[in-house]
Structure formats: structure tokens, C-alpha cells
Amino acid sequence: MATVIRLARYGAKKRPYYHVVVTDSRNARNSGAILETVGKYNPMLGKDDEKRVVLDIEKIKSWMSKGAKPSDRVYKFLVKAGLVSAKPIPNQTKKNQPSEKTQMKAKDKADKLAKIAEEKAAAEAAAKAAAEAPVEQPTEEAPVAEETATTEATAE
């Protein structure tokens, strides 16, 4: 007999409440032919509530040693409880990636943004260097002499 650990729904309409049960895989979800109830799950409670998922760890370990397989949802509960390790995330196919043309456009855009950022940084550095450099004052003696020469020429 292939046994599974899965959820059996109880509770009222739009107010679900589940029992984590061990049953034969050929039985319907709520057939009533369960071997043992090993926990409870109340999705109406908050995710951080400790009473949301209540598992009898010893019973679950016992049934898993006998060959019972948890359903996907129950497996997630067991991962969170630390009984089993998380399933590895499979490698995705190329279908989930953008096309080559789109990737090239994104690369070109990133290159342009990087170039603009470099130019802006260089301009800021030049402005900062110019602000820090000492400013030399032109000498006033030469223009004064020219003014006096022009005033003398107009006086004659």
C-alpha cells in the first residue's frame, strides 16, 4: 500500500481548516479512510502565528521511515520544521530569458549610462579642481600708465 501524508479539508465554507493525515494514496481527499492524523493546519491564522501549523514530529518521522511520501504542501511544512531538506530549484530553460536582441539593447543602454556617468564624474572632478586652484590677480600698473598717457594726449 502506497501511503501519503497530505491535507484533508475540514471547516465551513470559506473558512478552511485542514488536518495533516496519513492515508492510502488511492483514497479521496476526504474519504474518511485515514490511517492517522499527524497534524493540523489553519490557513486563516497569520503566517507568523505558531498555531498555524501544528505537527506531531514523532508520528511523521515514524510514517516517513515506513515509506510515506508527503504532498507538496506538507513537504513545505516539513522543510520549515527542519525535518527534511528543501528541494533544489531546477535550472530554467532558455524560454524564461529575453531574446538576444533584447539582451543586446539592454547591454547598449547600460553602456551608454556608464559612459554618461563617467563623463559626469570627470566634469565634477574638473570643476572641483578649478575651484580649489588659486586665482591670480592681474597687475594694475600697466593699464594705469596707459590711461594717463591717453588723458595727456587729449589735453593737448
| Domains parsed from the chain with CATH numbers | 3-81 (3.30.1320.10)
| Alpha-carbon separation of residue 51 from 5, 17, 78 (angstroms) | 19, 12, 15
**What is the pLDDT of the chain when averaged over all its residues?**
84
Distance, in Å, from the CA atom of 116 to the CA atom of 24, rounded to the nearest integer, reads 65
pLDDT tens by residue, 66-96:
999 999 999 999 999 988 888 888 777 777 7
| Alpha-carbon separation of residue 119 from 20, 107, 108, 122, 143 (angstroms) | 63, 18, 17, 5, 41
pLDDT tens by residue, 1-52:
689 999 999 999 999 999 999 998 888 877 778 899 999 999 999 989 999 9
- Looking at residues 127-148, what average pLDDT do you find? 65
